[in-house]
Structure 1
Amino acid sequence: MHETAKKQLPNKQERHKLFGSVEPGPKHKPMEKSKMKDLQNTKKDFLFELDVVGISNVKHPVVINSSLTPETQTSVGTFYFASSISQGSKGTNMSRFTEQLQSYYEDGFVLDLKTLKSFVYHLRERLEQNDAEMTVSFPWFFERKAPYSEKAGLNYADAWIKVHYDQEQGYDIKVGLTGKITTLCPCSKEISEYSAHNQRGNIEMEVTLSEDFNEEQHDWKFLLLEAAESNASARIHPVLKRPDEKMVTEQAYENPRFVEDMVRLVSCDLYEIDEIVQFSVKCLNEESIHLHDAIASITYDKRTE
C-alpha cells in the first residue's frame, strides 16, 4: 500500500511570521504603575456629569440560599456594575469593579441582601464616587413534586437583585423574579361546547423591599414565586405521570384566568406583604391559538397611599 509523505511544516515561530507576527519593537514607556500616566483620574472640567459608567454582562459563579430544596446551590450570576461620575472626573477605574468581585468570590460570594449591600457600599468607596449600583441576575432552581405521584424534579425561575447606594440617600433595593405558569382561557371555556385552550404564562414581578426586610425570616424568591403560581390556573411541573396530568388539567379547567385576572390577583398578594412597599407585575401569555402574545401589567406604590 502506498504511503503518503508526511507534510513538512515550518516551526511554530516561523508559522507565526508567515501569518503576520513581527518581532517586538523598542519599548520606552515605563512598566511601573507609579510612573504611568493616569488618564482616567485626570481632574478637569469635562463639561457634563455622567449618570452611569461601569461594566455589564459580567458572568461569575455565585452561591444562592433558598427556603426550598436545594437549600444551597451554586449558580451563575450575570452582573452589572456602575456609578455616576462628576463633571470634574474624566472616567472610572474599570478594574476596580472586577477586583472587588474577585475579593468577594474568594470569601464565598453568597447572593443575600446583606452581602450585596456591603458590596455596593465598599464599591462606592473604592471608586471614590458619591454612589454605586449593581444588578445581578441568575437562575434559581427549586424542587417541585407532582401532585399525585409526588415524582420530583427541578424547576427554575429567572431572578434578579438591584442594589443602589447613595452617600446621602442611602440604599434602594429592588428584587425581581419571572415565574412560568399555566393559564386556561375563560372565554374559550365559556363559549365552547367542550374543552378550552391553555397557554404558558410568564409572570414578571419586581418589588421594592422595606428597609426592615428580614431575609432570615422570609425568602423573597419564594414569596414572589408563590404569588405567581398560587393565582394561576395551574402550576408547571418537571415530571408528570398520567394521574398527575389528569389532576393538573382539571385544576386548570376549574381556575380559568385572563392576563388581566393574573396581574390583579398577583398584585393582591404582593400588596398584602407588609415588607413590599412598591411593586410592578406583568403577565405575558404565549397564546396557543393565536400568533400574538397577550399582555397586561400593573405598577403600584404603597408609599403614596
Structure 2
Amino acid sequence: MRDCAVEILEDVQGRADPRAIAIQQVGIRAVRHPMQFQDRDGAVQPTIAQCNMYVSLPAHLKGTHMSRFIEVLNAHESPFSVESFGAAVEQMRQRLEADSARLEMRLPFFVQKAAPVSGVKSMLDYEVELIGEITPAGYLLTIGVMVPVTSLCPCSKSISEYGAHNQRAHVWVHVRAHETIWIKDIIDLIEAEASCQLYGVLKRPDEKYVTEYAYDHPKFVEDMVRDVALRLREDPRVRWFSVSSENFESIHNHSAYAMIEMEK
C-alpha cells in the first residue's frame, strides 16, 4: 500500500525579511463579494460590495497571507451594518495576526420611496461607503453616503422671465460619530436640504409637483453644502464630517463643486 503522507510545503510568507521595514498597509483591493446589509429599519437587503482589505505587516516578516482575506469574507455569515462593522474588521485583524487592520466597502443601497402625489412606490439606489480601521489606538469608523438630488439655480431663476435651469447633483457626506448613525439617517438629512429629492417613478402629477417644488427651493452648490453642514454640525451624534456636492450642469459642459470638512 502506497504511503499517502501529506507533503509539508514551506510557508514562504513567514520567512524573516532582512530589510527590516514595516509595512503599514498590505492586502487585496477591488474584491466584489455578495453579502447581506442591514440598516435602521432592521430589514436585510442583499447587495454586492466592492472591498479593499489591508493589515499591517511587521518589519521582520516577508509577507502576509493573502488568501486569508477572502476566507474572512466567506466565513462572515451575519448581515453587515454600521453597528457590526467593527466586529468584521476585528475578525480580519485576528485572522491575519496583525496589529492593525482596515476594511473598506462600497456598495449600492436601495430605498423604497413613494412618489409625492400619486404615492406610486419604486426603488431608488444610493451609494454607501464604510471604512473601518483598528489600530493600537482603537477603532475608527467612517460612514459615507452619496445621495443624488435636484438642484435649481437661484441666479437663473432671478434673471429669467420664465423658467430656471436645474441639474442633478451628487451629494457625498462622510461622518464619524460618537454613537450609531444609520445610512437612512444621512439620506433623510441630505434630501431635506436639496432643491428636490429624486424618485424612481413619477406620474404626471408627481412631475408637476417636483418641478414646482424645486423652483420654490433654488440652491447654488455652495448653498447645498452649507445647509447640509449646518444640520450635521447640530447633530450631537456627529464628531467629524465632510460634505461635498457635484452639480452636473445642464447649460455648461462642466460640473460645479463645493466641499466642507469640519471637526466638532
Q: Unpaired runs of 5+ in structure 1? A: 1-29
Aligned residue runs from structure 1 range 105-254, under 5 A:
108-166=77-135, 168-210=136-178, 213-214=179-180, 218=181, 220-254=182-216
Render the CA deviation track for 1:234-253: whole Å, top value 9, x for unaligned.
11111111111111111101
- The aligned counterpart of 1:23 is none
Q: Is the 8 A contact 1:81 1:134 kept in 2?
A: yes
Q: Which amino acid aligns with 1:196?
A: A
Tell me if the contact between 1:46 and 1:90 (Cα under 8 Å) persists in the aligned partners. Answer: no
Residue deviations 1:173-232 (CA, integer Å, cap 9, x gap): 11110000001000000111111001001001111122xx24xxx5x2112111211001
For 2:202 and 2:213, the matched residues in 1 are separated by 14
Q: TM-score, normalised by structure 1?
A: 0.82
1:61 to 6, 12, 34: 34
2:70 is matched with 98
CA contact (8 A) 2:244 2:259 kept: yes
Instruction: Give the number of the structure whose residues are more often strand, by fraction.
Output: 2
Kept after mapping to 1: 8 A contact 2:127/2:146: yes
1:79 aligns with 2:51: yes
Q: How many residues align?
A: 260
Q: State the match for 1:287 in structure 2.
A: 249
Q: Secondary structure at the match of 1:88?
A: coil
- Structure 2 portions without partners, runs of 5+: none
Rounded Cα–Cα distance in structure 1 between residues aligned with 2:210 and 2:115: 9
- SS of 1:232's partner is coil
Cα distance in 1, alignment partners of residues 102 and 113 from structure 2:
34
1:113 is displaced (CA, Å) by: 3.2
Distance in 2 of aligned mates of 1:119 and 1:43 = 29
Structure 1 stretches of 4+ moved >6 Å: none
CA deviation profile, 1:122-158 (whole Å, cap 9, x unmatched):
2212212211110111100001111111011000100
Question: What letter is aligned with 1:194?
Answer: Y
- Structure with the greater relative contact order (CA < 8 A, sep ≥ 6): 1 or 2? 2
CA contact (8 A) 1:180 1:203 kept: yes
Shift in alpha-carbon separation, 1:31–1:59, aligned structure 2, 3 A: farther
Partner of 2:14: helix, strand, or coil? coil
Q: Post-superposition shift, 1:45?
A: 2.9
Distance, in Å, in 2 between the alignment partners of 1:222 and 1:124 is 29
Q: Quote the Cα distance in structure 1 between the aligned partners of 2:257 and 2:107.
A: 24
Equivalent of residue 51 in structure 1, options 17, 21, 24: 24
Secondary structure of 1:194's aligned partner? coil
Q: Could you tell me whether the CA contact under 8 Å between 1:46 and 1:89 is conserved in 2? A: no
Cα distance in 2 for residues equivalent to 1:123 and 1:292: 42
Q: CA deviation at 1:31?
A: 6.2
Alignment root-mean-square deviation, CA = 1.6
Residues in 2 aligned to 1:254 and 1:163: alpha-carbon distance in whole angstroms: 40
